[in-house]
Amino acid sequence: MEQDTTEHHPDPQPLENEPPVSQTEAGYQKIRAELHEARKNIPPKNPVDVGKQLAAARGEYVEDISDPNDPRWVHNNY
């Protein structure tokens, strides 16, 4: 069996400087509640057909996705 060559170093920060678990847990719960409230304010995404998204990415005109006023849009007005 091989000898373990991993160097082990003691933690340089003493545990006395760490806040008690109850304080840490309370802080976590507060942040979690704030996040939960913030998520309520995010509007739901409007589902878009993936096929339409791909067509728009290819440069094809797709109703409700494509912006014909976009300067990158190629018009066939010769």
- List, for residues 11-47, the tens digit of each pLDDT value: 667 667 776 767 778 888 899 999 999 888 887 776 6
Q: Which two tokens stand for residue 5?
A: 């060559």
First to last CA, the chain: 80
For position 57, what pLDDT does the model report?
80
Among 77, 55, 75, smallest CA distance to 65 is for 55
**pTM recorded for the entire structure:** 0.33
